[in-house]
Amino acid sequence: MNGASEDSRAQGARALPWVAAAAWVCWQLMAGAEDVTWGWDESQHAELPAARMALYLRAGELGGAMDALHSCTQYPFVWPTLLGVVQALTGPSEAAARLMGVLLWGLTMGGAHKLTIAAGARAGLEERARGWAAWGALALSAASPLASAYAGTLFHAVPTACAVVWALIAWLRRGPGLPPRDLLAGFAFALVFFTKFNYGLLLGAALASDLLFEWIREARAGAAGAMPGRAARLAAAPLALCAWWFFLPLPGGAELATVHREAFLGFLSGNLETTYLSPARRLVEWGAGLHLQPRLLLLVLFGVACSTRSLGKPGARLLGVAALIPAAILWSHPFHLDRFLVPFAPALWCLAALGLASWASSSARAGRAIPWVLLACVIPLGGADSRALAGAVGLMPAAGPERVYVEGELERLGRLGAGRRRPTAGLATETVSGILDACAAEAQPDERVGWLGVSSELSPAALHLGLLERGGERERFLRDAHRALDITFEGVDPGWTDEALAAWAQDFDVLFMTDPPDLGARPARAFMRGYQERLLALGWSASEVLGTYEWQTPFGATRAVNLYACRPTP
Protein backbone atom coordinates (compact mmCIF):
# COMPACT_ATOMS: atom_id res chain seq x y z
CA MET A 1 0.00 0.00 0.00
CA ASN A 2 2.75 2.43 0.92
CA GLY A 3 4.54 1.69 -2.36
CA ALA A 4 1.37 2.36 -4.34
CA SER A 5 0.76 5.59 -2.43
CA GLU A 6 4.29 6.77 -3.08
CA ASP A 7 3.92 5.95 -6.80
CA SER A 8 0.69 7.96 -6.92
CA ARG A 9 2.35 10.93 -5.25
CA ALA A 10 5.28 10.71 -7.67
CA GLN A 11 2.94 10.61 -10.66
CA GLY A 12 1.02 13.56 -9.28
CA ALA A 13 4.23 15.53 -8.83
CA ARG A 14 5.25 14.80 -12.42
CA ALA A 15 1.83 15.91 -13.66
CA LEU A 16 1.76 19.21 -11.74
CA PRO A 17 4.00 21.18 -14.18
CA TRP A 18 1.76 20.14 -17.06
CA VAL A 19 -1.33 21.16 -15.09
CA ALA A 20 0.28 24.56 -14.53
CA ALA A 21 1.14 24.86 -18.24
CA ALA A 22 -2.40 23.88 -19.21
CA ALA A 23 -3.82 26.49 -16.83
CA TRP A 24 -1.58 29.13 -18.45
CA VAL A 25 -2.79 28.08 -21.91
CA CYS A 26 -6.44 28.35 -20.84
CA TRP A 27 -5.81 31.77 -19.32
CA GLN A 28 -4.18 33.03 -22.49
CA LEU A 29 -7.00 31.73 -24.66
CA MET A 30 -9.54 33.51 -22.49
CA ALA A 31 -7.59 36.76 -22.12
CA GLY A 32 -5.84 37.03 -25.49
CA ALA A 33 -6.48 40.13 -27.56
CA GLU A 34 -8.13 39.95 -30.99
CA ASP A 35 -7.71 43.56 -31.98
CA VAL A 36 -5.24 43.16 -34.87
CA THR A 37 -4.97 40.62 -37.65
CA TRP A 38 -2.24 39.06 -39.80
CA GLY A 39 1.01 40.94 -40.12
CA TRP A 40 3.18 40.62 -43.22
CA ASP A 41 5.58 37.93 -41.96
CA GLU A 42 2.79 35.96 -40.30
CA SER A 43 0.61 35.76 -43.38
CA GLN A 44 3.27 35.56 -46.10
CA HIS A 45 5.78 33.21 -44.50
CA ALA A 46 3.68 31.06 -42.15
CA GLU A 47 -0.03 30.99 -42.90
CA LEU A 48 0.12 31.19 -46.71
CA PRO A 49 2.15 27.99 -47.20
CA ALA A 50 0.25 26.39 -44.31
CA ALA A 51 -3.14 27.16 -45.89
CA ARG A 52 -1.96 25.85 -49.25
CA MET A 53 -0.73 22.63 -47.63
CA ALA A 54 -3.99 22.30 -45.71
CA LEU A 55 -6.16 22.63 -48.82
CA TYR A 56 -4.04 20.17 -50.77
CA LEU A 57 -4.00 17.67 -47.91
CA ARG A 58 -7.76 17.92 -47.49
CA ALA A 59 -8.10 16.96 -51.15
CA GLY A 60 -5.49 14.19 -50.89
CA GLU A 61 -3.16 15.99 -53.31
CA LEU A 62 0.24 15.22 -51.82
CA GLY A 63 2.15 16.67 -54.77
CA GLY A 64 0.58 20.07 -54.23
CA ALA A 65 1.29 19.87 -50.50
CA MET A 66 4.96 19.17 -51.25
CA ASP A 67 5.07 22.13 -53.65
CA ALA A 68 3.73 24.34 -50.86
CA LEU A 69 6.30 22.93 -48.44
CA HIS A 70 9.14 23.60 -50.88
CA SER A 71 7.94 27.21 -51.29
CA CYS A 72 9.12 27.89 -47.71
CA THR A 73 12.45 29.36 -48.73
CA GLN A 74 13.14 32.51 -46.69
CA TYR A 75 11.72 30.86 -43.56
CA PRO A 76 11.93 27.05 -43.53
CA PHE A 77 9.19 24.50 -43.48
CA VAL A 78 8.73 22.99 -39.99
CA TRP A 79 6.37 25.62 -38.55
CA PRO A 80 4.23 26.07 -41.72
CA THR A 81 4.01 22.29 -42.07
CA LEU A 82 2.75 21.89 -38.49
CA LEU A 83 0.19 24.64 -39.11
CA GLY A 84 -0.80 23.03 -42.40
CA VAL A 85 -1.33 19.58 -40.90
CA VAL A 86 -3.52 21.02 -38.13
CA GLN A 87 -5.54 23.11 -40.58
CA ALA A 88 -5.99 20.11 -42.84
CA LEU A 89 -8.33 19.00 -40.05
CA THR A 90 -9.95 22.35 -39.25
CA GLY A 91 -9.72 24.13 -42.60
CA PRO A 92 -7.68 27.35 -42.97
CA SER A 93 -8.38 29.30 -39.80
CA GLU A 94 -6.66 32.21 -38.10
CA ALA A 95 -8.02 31.07 -34.73
CA ALA A 96 -6.65 27.53 -35.16
CA ALA A 97 -3.27 28.86 -36.28
CA ARG A 98 -2.94 31.21 -33.32
CA LEU A 99 -4.02 28.47 -30.92
CA MET A 100 -0.99 26.43 -32.01
CA GLY A 101 1.45 29.10 -30.82
CA VAL A 102 -0.19 29.28 -27.40
CA LEU A 103 -0.10 25.49 -27.07
CA LEU A 104 3.57 25.42 -28.07
CA TRP A 105 4.51 27.92 -25.38
CA GLY A 106 2.67 25.74 -22.85
CA LEU A 107 4.78 22.83 -24.13
CA THR A 108 7.85 25.04 -23.76
CA MET A 109 6.97 25.78 -20.14
CA GLY A 110 6.66 22.09 -19.33
CA GLY A 111 9.89 21.47 -21.20
CA ALA A 112 11.69 24.16 -19.20
CA HIS A 113 10.69 22.33 -16.01
CA LYS A 114 12.04 19.01 -17.33
CA LEU A 115 15.17 20.63 -18.76
CA THR A 116 16.03 22.24 -15.42
CA ILE A 117 15.64 18.96 -13.56
CA ALA A 118 17.75 17.08 -16.12
CA ALA A 119 20.47 19.73 -16.18
CA GLY A 120 20.46 20.01 -12.39
CA ALA A 121 20.92 16.26 -12.05
CA ARG A 122 23.87 16.32 -14.45
CA ALA A 123 25.32 19.26 -12.50
CA GLY A 124 25.07 17.37 -9.21
CA LEU A 125 22.42 19.58 -7.57
CA GLU A 126 20.45 17.90 -4.82
CA GLU A 127 16.92 16.74 -5.64
CA ARG A 128 15.06 19.30 -3.52
CA ALA A 129 17.00 22.19 -5.02
CA ARG A 130 16.40 20.82 -8.54
CA GLY A 131 12.67 20.77 -7.87
CA TRP A 132 12.58 24.39 -6.72
CA ALA A 133 14.77 25.45 -9.65
CA ALA A 134 12.48 23.68 -12.12
CA TRP A 135 9.44 25.52 -10.79
CA GLY A 136 11.39 28.77 -10.94
CA ALA A 137 12.19 28.21 -14.62
CA LEU A 138 8.55 27.41 -15.33
CA ALA A 139 7.40 30.53 -13.46
CA LEU A 140 9.81 32.77 -15.39
CA SER A 141 8.52 31.27 -18.64
CA ALA A 142 4.92 31.86 -17.63
CA ALA A 143 5.58 35.42 -16.47
CA SER A 144 7.27 36.68 -19.63
CA PRO A 145 5.11 39.32 -21.35
CA LEU A 146 7.13 39.04 -24.56
CA ALA A 147 6.68 35.28 -24.79
CA SER A 148 3.01 35.60 -23.90
CA ALA A 149 2.48 38.15 -26.65
CA TYR A 150 4.30 36.22 -29.37
CA ALA A 151 2.63 32.94 -28.39
CA GLY A 152 -0.54 34.36 -29.93
CA THR A 153 1.17 35.15 -33.24
CA LEU A 154 2.54 33.12 -36.13
CA PHE A 155 6.10 34.40 -35.86
CA HIS A 156 8.72 31.66 -35.65
CA ALA A 157 10.03 32.72 -32.21
CA VAL A 158 7.78 30.57 -30.01
CA PRO A 159 7.92 27.41 -32.20
CA THR A 160 11.69 27.74 -32.17
CA ALA A 161 11.79 28.18 -28.39
CA CYS A 162 9.78 25.00 -27.99
CA ALA A 163 12.05 23.11 -30.38
CA VAL A 164 15.18 24.46 -28.65
CA VAL A 165 14.04 23.37 -25.19
CA TRP A 166 13.22 19.83 -26.30
CA ALA A 167 16.42 19.61 -28.36
CA LEU A 168 18.38 20.48 -25.22
CA ILE A 169 16.50 17.80 -23.29
CA ALA A 170 17.30 15.26 -26.01
CA TRP A 171 20.95 16.37 -25.91
CA LEU A 172 21.16 15.84 -22.14
CA ARG A 173 19.65 12.36 -22.44
CA ARG A 174 22.50 11.13 -24.61
CA GLY A 175 25.15 8.88 -23.17
CA PRO A 176 27.84 6.36 -24.03
CA GLY A 177 26.35 3.20 -25.47
CA LEU A 178 23.04 4.85 -26.40
CA PRO A 179 23.17 5.27 -30.21
CA PRO A 180 19.40 5.83 -30.67
CA ARG A 181 19.54 8.81 -28.32
CA ASP A 182 22.40 10.33 -30.31
CA LEU A 183 20.31 10.01 -33.47
CA LEU A 184 17.30 11.53 -31.70
CA ALA A 185 19.35 14.48 -30.41
CA GLY A 186 20.64 15.15 -33.93
CA PHE A 187 17.13 15.00 -35.34
CA ALA A 188 15.89 17.41 -32.65
CA PHE A 189 18.60 19.89 -33.62
CA ALA A 190 17.63 19.51 -37.29
CA LEU A 191 14.05 20.46 -36.37
CA VAL A 192 15.33 23.68 -34.79
CA PHE A 193 17.43 24.50 -37.87
CA PHE A 194 14.49 23.95 -40.22
CA THR A 195 12.17 25.92 -37.98
CA LYS A 196 14.33 29.03 -38.46
CA PHE A 197 17.80 29.00 -39.91
CA ASN A 198 19.48 31.68 -37.80
CA TYR A 199 18.21 30.28 -34.51
CA GLY A 200 19.36 26.84 -35.65
CA LEU A 201 22.85 28.16 -36.32
CA LEU A 202 22.99 29.71 -32.84
CA LEU A 203 21.91 26.46 -31.24
CA GLY A 204 24.40 24.60 -33.43
CA ALA A 205 27.22 26.78 -32.10
CA ALA A 206 26.12 26.05 -28.53
CA LEU A 207 25.83 22.28 -29.07
CA ALA A 208 29.15 22.14 -30.93
CA SER A 209 30.81 23.93 -28.01
CA ASP A 210 29.31 21.50 -25.52
CA LEU A 211 30.36 18.53 -27.65
CA LEU A 212 33.91 19.90 -27.85
CA PHE A 213 34.13 20.18 -24.07
CA GLU A 214 32.76 16.65 -23.77
CA TRP A 215 35.32 15.35 -26.26
CA ILE A 216 38.18 17.02 -24.38
CA ARG A 217 36.98 15.51 -21.11
CA GLU A 218 36.77 12.04 -22.66
CA ALA A 219 40.23 12.43 -24.19
CA ARG A 220 41.72 13.32 -20.82
CA ALA A 221 40.11 10.20 -19.39
CA GLY A 222 41.51 8.11 -22.23
CA ALA A 223 38.02 7.25 -23.50
CA ALA A 224 37.72 9.39 -26.64
CA GLY A 225 37.68 6.42 -29.02
CA ALA A 226 33.87 6.34 -29.14
CA MET A 227 33.47 10.08 -29.75
CA PRO A 228 33.87 10.08 -33.57
CA GLY A 229 31.06 7.55 -33.88
CA ARG A 230 28.83 9.51 -31.51
CA ALA A 231 29.55 12.74 -33.40
CA ALA A 232 28.68 11.01 -36.69
CA ARG A 233 25.35 9.85 -35.28
CA LEU A 234 24.59 13.35 -34.00
CA ALA A 235 25.30 14.79 -37.44
CA ALA A 236 23.41 12.13 -39.41
CA ALA A 237 19.91 13.64 -39.36
CA PRO A 238 20.99 17.28 -39.89
CA LEU A 239 23.25 16.30 -42.81
CA ALA A 240 20.57 14.13 -44.39
CA LEU A 241 17.93 16.86 -44.18
CA CYS A 242 20.34 19.52 -45.45
CA ALA A 243 21.34 17.29 -48.37
CA TRP A 244 17.67 16.84 -49.25
CA TRP A 245 16.74 20.51 -48.91
CA PHE A 246 19.79 22.16 -50.47
CA PHE A 247 20.94 19.59 -53.07
CA LEU A 248 18.25 17.04 -53.89
CA PRO A 249 14.85 18.40 -52.76
CA LEU A 250 12.76 15.46 -53.94
CA PRO A 251 10.30 15.45 -55.61
CA GLY A 252 11.93 18.60 -57.02
CA GLY A 253 15.24 18.79 -58.82
CA ALA A 254 18.42 20.82 -59.22
CA GLU A 255 16.62 24.07 -60.06
CA LEU A 256 14.62 23.95 -56.82
CA ALA A 257 17.80 23.12 -54.89
CA THR A 258 19.40 26.26 -56.33
CA VAL A 259 16.42 28.33 -55.17
CA HIS A 260 16.76 26.90 -51.66
CA ARG A 261 20.51 27.58 -51.51
CA GLU A 262 20.19 31.13 -52.82
CA ALA A 263 17.40 31.91 -50.37
CA PHE A 264 19.45 30.55 -47.48
CA LEU A 265 22.56 32.52 -48.42
CA GLY A 266 20.49 35.65 -48.96
CA PHE A 267 18.90 35.17 -45.56
CA LEU A 268 22.30 34.90 -43.88
CA SER A 269 23.68 37.98 -45.63
CA GLY A 270 20.60 40.14 -45.04
CA ASN A 271 20.23 42.93 -42.49
CA LEU A 272 23.99 43.25 -41.90
CA GLU A 273 24.03 46.93 -42.89
CA THR A 274 21.17 47.85 -40.59
CA THR A 275 21.84 50.69 -38.17
CA TYR A 276 22.64 49.20 -34.77
CA LEU A 277 19.71 49.43 -32.39
CA SER A 278 20.91 51.30 -29.34
CA PRO A 279 22.00 49.37 -26.23
CA ALA A 280 19.47 51.45 -24.28
CA ARG A 281 16.57 50.15 -26.36
CA ARG A 282 17.84 46.58 -26.13
CA LEU A 283 18.21 46.83 -22.36
CA VAL A 284 14.61 48.03 -22.00
CA GLU A 285 13.37 45.12 -24.10
CA TRP A 286 15.33 42.65 -21.96
CA GLY A 287 14.18 44.21 -18.70
CA ALA A 288 10.66 45.51 -19.34
CA GLY A 289 9.57 43.15 -22.13
CA LEU A 290 11.18 39.75 -21.87
CA HIS A 291 10.72 39.93 -18.09
CA LEU A 292 7.67 41.13 -16.24
CA GLN A 293 9.69 43.97 -14.75
CA PRO A 294 13.36 45.00 -14.67
CA ARG A 295 13.82 43.65 -11.15
CA LEU A 296 13.26 40.14 -12.49
CA LEU A 297 16.05 40.67 -15.01
CA LEU A 298 18.34 41.58 -12.11
CA LEU A 299 17.29 38.37 -10.34
CA VAL A 300 18.02 36.35 -13.50
CA LEU A 301 21.44 37.94 -13.88
CA PHE A 302 22.19 37.20 -10.23
CA GLY A 303 21.17 33.59 -10.78
CA VAL A 304 23.39 33.34 -13.86
CA ALA A 305 26.29 34.72 -11.81
CA CYS A 306 25.61 32.13 -9.11
CA SER A 307 25.69 29.37 -11.72
CA THR A 308 29.21 30.18 -12.90
CA ARG A 309 30.79 27.88 -10.32
CA SER A 310 28.85 24.96 -11.85
CA LEU A 311 29.61 25.67 -15.52
CA GLY A 312 32.27 22.97 -15.59
CA LYS A 313 29.59 20.32 -15.00
CA PRO A 314 27.73 18.90 -18.02
CA GLY A 315 24.17 20.09 -17.39
CA ALA A 316 25.05 23.61 -16.30
CA ARG A 317 27.63 23.87 -19.09
CA LEU A 318 25.03 23.03 -21.73
CA LEU A 319 22.60 25.62 -20.39
CA GLY A 320 25.44 28.14 -20.19
CA VAL A 321 26.47 27.84 -23.83
CA ALA A 322 22.82 27.61 -24.97
CA ALA A 323 21.97 30.85 -23.17
CA LEU A 324 25.12 32.94 -23.30
CA ILE A 325 26.32 32.35 -26.88
CA PRO A 326 22.96 33.42 -28.41
CA ALA A 327 22.69 36.32 -25.94
CA ALA A 328 26.10 37.64 -26.98
CA ILE A 329 25.28 37.35 -30.69
CA LEU A 330 21.85 38.95 -30.30
CA TRP A 331 23.32 41.83 -28.30
CA SER A 332 26.07 42.52 -30.83
CA HIS A 333 24.21 41.96 -34.12
CA PRO A 334 23.07 45.23 -35.73
CA PHE A 335 19.60 43.96 -36.65
CA HIS A 336 17.40 43.45 -33.64
CA LEU A 337 13.71 42.79 -33.02
CA ASP A 338 12.31 42.03 -29.59
CA ARG A 339 11.01 38.61 -30.65
CA PHE A 340 14.62 37.50 -31.23
CA LEU A 341 14.97 37.25 -27.45
CA VAL A 342 12.31 34.55 -27.03
CA PRO A 343 13.88 31.35 -28.51
CA PHE A 344 16.82 31.13 -26.09
CA ALA A 345 15.24 32.79 -23.05
CA PRO A 346 14.11 29.44 -21.52
CA ALA A 347 17.73 28.23 -21.45
CA LEU A 348 18.68 31.48 -19.69
CA TRP A 349 15.88 31.07 -17.17
CA CYS A 350 16.79 27.43 -16.50
CA LEU A 351 20.41 28.40 -15.93
CA ALA A 352 19.44 31.27 -13.63
CA ALA A 353 17.01 29.08 -11.68
CA LEU A 354 19.72 26.48 -11.10
CA GLY A 355 22.11 29.18 -9.95
CA LEU A 356 19.58 30.63 -7.51
CA ALA A 357 18.72 27.19 -6.15
CA SER A 358 22.40 26.40 -5.72
CA TRP A 359 22.96 29.69 -3.89
CA ALA A 360 19.88 29.21 -1.68
CA SER A 361 21.09 25.75 -0.63
CA SER A 362 24.68 26.85 -0.05
CA SER A 363 24.08 28.19 3.46
CA ALA A 364 21.36 28.74 6.02
CA ARG A 365 21.68 32.52 5.58
CA ALA A 366 21.11 32.28 1.82
CA GLY A 367 18.16 29.96 2.39
CA ARG A 368 16.54 32.49 4.71
CA ALA A 369 17.26 35.38 2.33
CA ILE A 370 15.86 33.86 -0.88
CA PRO A 371 12.12 34.32 -0.04
CA TRP A 372 12.73 38.02 0.64
CA VAL A 373 14.76 38.39 -2.55
CA LEU A 374 11.96 36.81 -4.56
CA LEU A 375 9.34 38.99 -2.88
CA ALA A 376 11.32 42.14 -3.62
CA CYS A 377 11.56 41.16 -7.28
CA VAL A 378 7.93 40.25 -7.92
CA ILE A 379 5.95 42.76 -5.83
CA PRO A 380 4.14 45.05 -8.32
CA LEU A 381 4.98 48.75 -8.46
CA GLY A 382 2.65 49.80 -11.26
CA GLY A 383 5.41 49.88 -13.85
CA ALA A 384 7.46 52.44 -11.94
CA ASP A 385 10.70 50.50 -12.37
CA SER A 386 10.13 50.13 -16.13
CA ARG A 387 9.65 53.89 -16.45
CA ALA A 388 12.70 54.45 -14.25
CA LEU A 389 14.79 52.15 -16.45
CA ALA A 390 13.66 53.93 -19.62
CA GLY A 391 14.46 57.27 -18.03
CA ALA A 392 17.85 56.12 -16.78
CA VAL A 393 18.95 55.04 -20.26
CA GLY A 394 17.60 58.18 -21.95
CA LEU A 395 14.53 56.75 -23.68
CA MET A 396 11.85 58.67 -21.78
CA PRO A 397 10.86 61.99 -23.45
CA ALA A 398 10.43 64.95 -21.16
CA ALA A 399 6.77 65.66 -21.98
CA GLY A 400 4.16 65.78 -24.69
CA PRO A 401 2.62 63.11 -26.94
CA GLU A 402 5.98 61.35 -27.27
CA ARG A 403 6.18 60.73 -23.52
CA VAL A 404 2.57 59.49 -23.45
CA TYR A 405 3.42 57.14 -26.31
CA VAL A 406 6.54 55.75 -24.59
CA GLU A 407 4.69 55.27 -21.30
CA GLY A 408 1.92 53.47 -23.18
CA GLU A 409 4.45 51.21 -24.91
CA LEU A 410 6.09 50.38 -21.57
CA GLU A 411 2.71 49.51 -20.11
CA ARG A 412 1.98 47.35 -23.17
CA LEU A 413 5.32 45.57 -22.85
CA GLY A 414 4.52 44.55 -19.28
CA ARG A 415 1.04 43.12 -19.87
CA LEU A 416 0.55 39.38 -19.61
CA GLY A 417 -3.13 38.89 -20.38
CA ALA A 418 -6.13 41.03 -21.23
CA GLY A 419 -5.42 44.32 -22.97
CA ARG A 420 -2.16 43.18 -24.56
CA ARG A 421 -2.07 44.12 -28.25
CA ARG A 422 -0.77 41.40 -30.52
CA PRO A 423 2.66 42.40 -31.88
CA THR A 424 1.76 41.35 -35.43
CA ALA A 425 2.38 44.66 -37.25
CA GLY A 426 -1.05 44.06 -38.77
CA LEU A 427 -4.03 46.36 -39.06
CA ALA A 428 -6.91 46.63 -36.66
CA THR A 429 -9.23 43.67 -37.19
CA GLU A 430 -12.20 45.94 -37.79
CA THR A 431 -10.35 47.87 -40.50
CA VAL A 432 -9.10 44.75 -42.27
CA SER A 433 -12.53 43.15 -42.15
CA GLY A 434 -14.04 46.22 -43.77
CA ILE A 435 -11.44 46.30 -46.55
CA LEU A 436 -11.69 42.57 -47.25
CA ASP A 437 -15.49 42.60 -47.16
CA ALA A 438 -15.47 45.34 -49.80
CA CYS A 439 -12.91 43.48 -51.95
CA ALA A 440 -14.87 40.22 -51.74
CA ALA A 441 -18.10 41.98 -52.67
CA GLU A 442 -16.46 43.56 -55.73
CA ALA A 443 -14.44 40.60 -57.08
CA GLN A 444 -16.07 37.47 -58.42
CA PRO A 445 -15.00 34.24 -56.63
CA ASP A 446 -12.67 33.15 -59.46
CA GLU A 447 -11.44 36.51 -60.78
CA ARG A 448 -7.72 37.28 -60.88
CA VAL A 449 -7.11 39.92 -58.23
CA GLY A 450 -4.22 42.39 -58.08
CA TRP A 451 -3.32 45.39 -55.95
CA LEU A 452 -1.62 48.57 -57.12
CA GLY A 453 0.21 49.82 -54.04
CA VAL A 454 0.11 46.87 -51.61
CA SER A 455 0.98 47.91 -48.06
CA SER A 456 3.15 46.53 -45.26
CA GLU A 457 0.03 46.24 -43.13
CA LEU A 458 -2.02 44.20 -45.65
CA SER A 459 0.06 41.57 -47.40
CA PRO A 460 -0.91 39.72 -50.59
CA ALA A 461 -1.38 36.58 -48.51
CA ALA A 462 -3.73 38.39 -46.13
CA LEU A 463 -5.80 39.57 -49.10
CA HIS A 464 -6.08 36.09 -50.60
CA LEU A 465 -6.78 34.47 -47.23
CA GLY A 466 -9.53 37.02 -46.63
CA LEU A 467 -11.09 36.41 -50.05
CA LEU A 468 -10.97 32.64 -49.48
CA GLU A 469 -12.69 33.05 -46.13
CA ARG A 470 -15.39 35.18 -47.79
CA GLY A 471 -16.42 32.68 -50.44
CA GLY A 472 -13.52 32.87 -52.87
CA GLU A 473 -12.84 29.78 -54.95
CA ARG A 474 -10.36 27.25 -53.61
CA GLU A 475 -8.92 26.95 -57.11
CA ARG A 476 -8.25 30.69 -57.28
CA PHE A 477 -6.46 30.62 -53.94
CA LEU A 478 -4.22 27.72 -54.95
CA ARG A 479 -3.61 29.28 -58.37
CA ASP A 480 -2.90 32.87 -57.36
CA ALA A 481 -2.18 33.27 -53.64
CA HIS A 482 1.56 32.56 -53.90
CA ARG A 483 2.10 34.77 -56.96
CA ALA A 484 3.07 38.45 -56.95
CA LEU A 485 0.05 40.72 -57.19
CA ASP A 486 1.71 44.17 -57.09
CA ILE A 487 4.36 46.06 -59.02
CA THR A 488 6.72 46.21 -56.05
CA PHE A 489 6.70 46.05 -52.30
CA GLU A 490 9.94 48.01 -51.98
CA GLY A 491 10.07 51.78 -51.60
CA VAL A 492 11.98 52.09 -54.87
CA ASP A 493 10.38 52.99 -58.22
CA PRO A 494 11.05 50.11 -60.66
CA GLY A 495 10.89 52.57 -63.55
CA TRP A 496 8.27 50.75 -65.61
CA THR A 497 7.23 52.08 -68.98
CA ASP A 498 3.57 52.27 -69.99
CA GLU A 499 4.09 49.09 -72.00
CA ALA A 500 5.45 47.22 -68.98
CA LEU A 501 2.59 48.52 -66.82
CA ALA A 502 0.00 47.43 -69.39
CA ALA A 503 1.58 43.98 -69.72
CA TRP A 504 1.51 43.53 -65.96
CA ALA A 505 -2.09 44.75 -65.62
CA GLN A 506 -3.48 42.41 -68.27
CA ASP A 507 -2.81 39.44 -65.96
CA PHE A 508 -5.62 40.63 -63.66
CA ASP A 509 -9.39 41.00 -63.93
CA VAL A 510 -9.66 43.57 -61.13
CA LEU A 511 -7.02 45.77 -59.50
CA PHE A 512 -7.61 47.30 -56.08
CA MET A 513 -5.88 50.49 -54.97
CA THR A 514 -6.14 52.96 -52.14
CA ASP A 515 -5.69 56.67 -51.63
CA PRO A 516 -3.06 57.14 -50.25
CA PRO A 517 -1.40 54.30 -52.23
CA ASP A 518 0.30 52.99 -49.09
CA LEU A 519 -1.98 52.49 -46.08
CA GLY A 520 0.65 54.00 -43.82
CA ALA A 521 1.21 56.93 -46.22
CA ARG A 522 4.96 56.26 -46.32
CA PRO A 523 6.74 58.93 -48.38
CA ALA A 524 9.04 56.30 -49.96
CA ARG A 525 6.02 54.70 -51.63
CA ALA A 526 4.34 57.88 -52.84
CA PHE A 527 5.59 57.13 -56.39
CA MET A 528 2.81 54.51 -56.65
CA ARG A 529 0.33 57.37 -57.16
CA GLY A 530 1.88 57.98 -60.57
CA TYR A 531 1.36 54.34 -61.56
CA GLN A 532 -2.28 54.53 -60.47
CA GLU A 533 -2.85 57.60 -62.67
CA ARG A 534 -1.02 56.00 -65.61
CA LEU A 535 -3.14 52.85 -65.31
CA LEU A 536 -6.31 54.92 -65.70
CA ALA A 537 -4.77 56.68 -68.70
CA LEU A 538 -4.17 53.25 -70.28
CA GLY A 539 -7.91 52.58 -70.39
CA TRP A 540 -8.74 51.17 -66.98
CA SER A 541 -11.72 52.60 -65.10
CA ALA A 542 -11.87 53.23 -61.37
CA SER A 543 -15.01 52.51 -59.37
CA GLU A 544 -16.67 54.82 -56.96
CA VAL A 545 -15.19 54.69 -53.47
CA LEU A 546 -15.81 51.17 -52.14
CA GLY A 547 -15.17 52.25 -48.58
CA THR A 548 -13.37 54.76 -46.37
CA TYR A 549 -11.36 53.44 -43.45
CA GLU A 550 -9.62 55.12 -40.55
CA TRP A 551 -5.91 54.58 -39.97
CA GLN A 552 -4.70 55.23 -36.43
CA THR A 553 -1.17 56.62 -36.22
CA PRO A 554 1.06 55.83 -33.21
CA PHE A 555 0.64 59.30 -31.72
CA GLY A 556 -3.15 59.34 -31.87
CA ALA A 557 -3.98 61.17 -35.13
CA THR A 558 -6.27 59.45 -37.63
CA ARG A 559 -5.98 59.28 -41.39
CA ALA A 560 -8.70 58.39 -43.89
CA VAL A 561 -7.96 55.71 -46.50
CA ASN A 562 -10.23 55.30 -49.55
CA LEU A 563 -10.51 51.97 -51.42
CA TYR A 564 -11.17 51.68 -55.17
CA ALA A 565 -11.45 48.88 -57.72
CA CYS A 566 -10.18 49.23 -61.30
CA ARG A 567 -11.23 47.22 -64.34
CA PRO A 568 -10.27 47.44 -68.00
CA THR A 569 -12.71 49.57 -69.99
CA PRO A 570 -14.82 47.38 -72.31
Residue 466 predicted with pLDDT over 90? yes
248-300, pLDDT tens digit by residue?
998 888 999 999 999 999 888 877 777 888 899 899 999 988 999 899 999 99
Whether pLDDT at 204 is above 70: yes
Strands 558-568 and 540-542: antiparallel
- What's the pLDDT at 553? 64
User: Across 29-33, 184-188, 214-218, 529-533, which has the greatest mean pLDDT?
Assistant: 184-188
Residue type, 335: F
Phi-psi region of 124 (alpha: psi -120 to 50; beta: other; left: phi over 0): left
Would you state the pLDDT for residue 309?
87
pLDDT at 11: 73
Give the integer Cα–Cα distance in Å for 276 and 318.
29
Alpha-carbon span 73 to 255, nearest angstrom: 13
- Model confidence over 370-387: pLDDT tens digits? 889 888 888 888 788 888
Model pLDDT for residues 483-495, shown as the tens digit of each residue: 988 988 888 899 9
The dihedral region occupied by 492, where left means phi > 0, alpha psi between -120 and 50, and beta the remainder, is beta
pLDDT reading at 344 higher than 60: yes
Q: Which of 152-156, 394-398, 453-457 has the lowest mean pLDDT?
A: 453-457
Q: Which of 49-63, 109-123, 551-565 has the lowest mean pLDDT?
A: 551-565
At 175, the pLDDT band (50, 70, 90 cuts) reads: confident
The predicted pLDDT at position 554 comes to 58
pLDDT (tens digit, 9 = 90+) per residue, 6-21?
A: 566 767 678 899 999 9
Domain residue limits, the chain: 2-29+40-268+280-352, 429-568
Identify the burial level of 63 via C-beta atoms within 10 angstroms of its C-beta, where 0-12 means exposed, 13-18 middle and 19 or more buried.
Answer: exposed
CB 195 within 8 A of CB 156: yes
The CA distance from 9 to 172, in Å, is: 26
Please state the rounded mean pLDDT for residues 434-440: 94
Check: CB of residue 355 under 8 Å from CB of residue 132: no
